[in-house]
Each structure stands twice: as C-alpha cells, then as structure tokens.
Copies of this chain bind each other. A is one copy, B any other.
Amino acid sequence: MDNKLMLMIPGPTPVPESVLLAMAQHPIGHRSGDFGKIMAEVSEGLKWLHQTQNDVLILSASGTGAMEAGIINFLSPGDHVLVGCNGKFGDRWAALSQAYGLTVTKVSAEWGQPLNPDDFKAALEAEGQQPVKAVIVTHSETSTGVLNDVEAISHYLKAHPQVLTIVDAVTSLGAISVPVDEWGLDVVGSGSQKGYMMPPGLAFVAVSPKAWNAYKTATLPRFYFDLGKYRKDATKNSTPFTPPVNLFYALHRSLQLLKGEGLHSIFSRHQRLKTATRAAVQALGLPLFAPDDAASPAITAVAPHNVDAEQIRTVLKKRFDIAMAGGQDHLKGKIFRIGHLGFVSDRDILTAIAALEAALQELGYQGFSPGAGVAAAAGVISGSMKPGAN
C-alpha cells in the first residue's frame, strides 16, 4: 500500500511529523543571527544528550564521516591503534584506520558475540609493542545487535591516560545511555538517522580536552573534517562550511522532543522495546543472534531455523509494508534485524510482532503457537506499567 511504510530498520528510523514539518521550512542564511540561535540551542541539546561538558561538533556527513573525523584529527601516520572488531562497523573502522596509514591491531570476537574487555586490557599491556595511541570501539554493533561493554573497556583505559578512547556510538546515542564524561570517552561519533529521531545527513563528534591536546600534534591530513575549524566556529555559533540548514531545523525540533521525554524515559523505553522484542522472538521459537547479556537496546538480530530470513522480510514488506533489515556480508540470508531505536513506541513492537507472526504463518512455519509472540511482548510491556516497575 503506498505511503504506508513502517520502518523497523536500524536507520533511517521513523521521524515524527513535527520534525518533518520543521525540516520543510524555507532555508535561512547560515551566517544569520537566526541560524546562530538555532546552532546555540542544538549545541546545548547535544551536550545534554551526550551527558558531557565536552564540545559536540556537527558535520554534514553520515556516521562514517563522524568516525573518520574522530580518528584522523587526533592521530599521525603509523600510530598504533587497537580496533574492536566483532561486526561490519568494527571492521569498517579498522579498514578506515588502515586507509590512513595507522598501524592496526584488531581485538576481535565472533560476529554476534561481544568484545571481551579483558582482551583490550591484554592488548594494551602487551610487552614489546609500539605504544598504543588510541582504542577504537563500537558501542552498539548495528550489524549484529550486539552491545559492547564500553564502560568496562573505558575502565581499563583509565590506567592508560596516554591512550585516547574513540567510540562509535552511531546506534547507541539517543537510545542507550552514553555518559561521555563519566566513562571518560575522548571521542564519540554518531549520526542523525538513529536515536536522534531525524533523517540522515548530520553527524556528531564529541571531543574531550585530552583529544584536543592530541589534535595539536596529530599530522594526518584533513580539511573538510578538520575539527579544529568546527570548534573555532562553534564558539561563534557558526560552522566552517555551509551547514544543511533544514536538517538543523529537524535536529532543533527532535532535541526538544527528546528533552521533553527525558533521558531516563528514553533509555528505559529502549530497554523495554528490546526486552519485549526478544521475549516475543523467543516465544516464536526463533533463535536470537546476540546473547542476553550483550543485547543492544537499539537492534535485535534474529537467526531463524526452518524458515528463510529473506522470505520473512519479503512477506513483511509486501503484505504489511514493514521494512526490517537483512544480514550484512557473510550474514546475508542468515539473519534479519529488527530496528527499535528512535521514534519507536511499545505499540510499534506489538505491531511488528503481530505482523511477524502473520508472516510466519503465511510461510508455513510451524514452530510456534499463534499469538505467543504478541502475548510475550505484551507481557513485558504491561509488566512495565505496574507500579514500581522499570
């Protein structure tokens, strides 16, 4: 049915009407006082969302642009970095680091499993190696639905004050608490089409004083992504290059909505969406791809047996206008991924699970009692409504 699409992919995520309408306003000049006022307000809002006093800079780019900026501004050719690799995005930051001539040591885990924080400790303390300049780690691995324990990794890093902590928070910021200052994260990259409840096109990089200190001596080449330029102009509520003004309108509005909901509610909502989704998927007899203790509140990956992941997606799309994501790279056809971050409500999970049940029935899958998925999700959701819950 036209215009009936329901997005349950891990980005772009659904966008509230008021954000879309904010974006549809006529552009204004980016050197005007009116733009400066918006810039000042969104900069403050981003600090609130990042739970930080650090600079949070805004780029016209995708999340990958944020991560590139977050890496190349603080390092020099040949510098040794540890990169956590347990999915497509971890692998991407390793490839990016190599493209820039950094010396990369991968700290790996199987796709679908979390990184082991002890492995970072061991790699940091390995003897006879070139000193490590930075650890690059993905918080919520979008390709697998695994949440890496950035808090524990950052804890080990506190014993290595010369090492920068660079975090991909692309599918965690706005969905999962990322207390930048409390965890001591030096560089945090994210993108607008995820927890921010707005369309793609803006990227964000939070930068600590320690990272700015490293910036002074870092020699990798940069111009468009030179964060020093963004920092300097941000003090005047401006940007070095023409910003996507209409996406700033959207950000301005979405941050108002997020503030209205409050950090605690946002994070507990995502926890509940995850728990309800996982309970429903298990009740349907479908294996979850990530373990319970490392499940991302933003994305649930499902690895079905006896029924084809791609067929499930096709039926959901054709019959119910619901878009879920497939697997990437070697997981193509093996998993499907349910995005539940951003502007997603309890009702959306009930809807998605009900449609998933109907799709499974249509495909002749026998491994569940019809209604069991919705019942399980509803159990989680209604449980959270009891006094004192959540």
On chain B, the residues within 8 Å of A247 by CB distance are 199, 201, 244, 247
Contact B68 A223, beta carbon cutoff 8 Å: yes
Contact A223 B96, beta carbon cutoff 8 Å: yes
Interface status of A20 (Cβ within 8 A of chain B)? yes
Contact B20 A7, beta carbon cutoff 8 Å: no
Interface status of A9 (Cβ within 8 A of chain B)? yes
Interface status of A212 (Cβ within 8 A of chain B)? no
Q: Which residue of B lies closest to A19 (CB)?
A: B24
Identify 5 residue pairs between A and B in the complex whose beta-carbon atoms are under 8 Å apart, listed by A's number.
A12-B29, A20-B246, A60-B60, A61-B65, A201-B244
Q: Mark A1-38, 1 if CB is under 8 A from B, else 0.
A: 00001010101111100001101111111111000000
Tell me the smallest distance from the CB of A342 to a CB of chain B, in Å.
11
A246 to B12, CA, bound (A): 10
Q: Which residue of B lies closest to A77 (CB)?
A: B221
Interface status of A389 (Cβ within 8 A of chain B)? no
Known interface pairs A12-B245, A15-B27, A62-B241; 4 further A-B residue pairs with C-beta atoms within 8 A, sorted by A's residue number = A12-B30, A23-B24, A61-B61, A63-B242
On chain B, the residues within 8 Å of A20 by CB distance are 24-26, 246
Interface status of A379 (Cβ within 8 A of chain B)? no
**How many chain A residues have a CB neighbour from B under 8 Å?**
53
Pairs of residues from A and B, 5 with the lowest C-beta to C-beta distance, nearest first:
A201-B244, A24-B24, A12-B27, A62-B241, A199-B246
What is the oligomeric copy number? 2
Interface residues of A in 94-113 (CB under 8 A from B): 95-96, 99-101
- Interface of A toward B, CB cutoff 8 Å: 5, 7, 9, 11-15, 20-21, 23-32, 60-65, 68, 95-96, 99-101, 191, 193, 199-201, 220-226, 241-247, 323, 325
Q: A241: which of B64, B101, B199, B222 is its contact (CB, 8 Å)?
A: B64
On chain B, the residues within 8 Å of A241 by CB distance are 62-65
On chain B, the residues within 8 Å of A220 by CB distance are 221
Contact B323 A32, beta carbon cutoff 8 Å: yes
**Which secondary structure characterizes the binding site on chain A?**
loop
Select the residue from A13, A241, A243 with max chain B CB neighbours within 10 A: A241
Select the residue from A201, A221, A242 with max chain B CB neighbours within 10 A: A242
On chain B, the residues within 8 Å of A31 by CB distance are 325
A234 to B14, CA, bound (A): 25
A322 to B144, CA, bound (A): 51
On chain B, the residues within 8 Å of A193 by CB distance are 27, 242, 245
A68 to B5, CA, bound (A): 36
Q: Which residue of B lies closest to A96 (CB)?
A: B223
Contact A64 B224, beta carbon cutoff 8 Å: yes
Contact A246 B23, beta carbon cutoff 8 Å: yes
A82 to B172, CA, bound (A): 45
A21 to B42, CA, bound (A): 24
A385 to B101, CA, bound (A): 60
A23 to B11, CA, bound (A): 17
Contact B101 A221, beta carbon cutoff 8 Å: yes
Contact A95 B223, beta carbon cutoff 8 Å: yes
Tell me the smallest distance from the CB of A173 to a CB of chain B, in Å.
15
Given A7-B27, A193-B27, A60–B201 Cβ distance below 8 Å?
Answer: yes
Q: Which residue of B lies closest to A201 (CB)?
A: B244
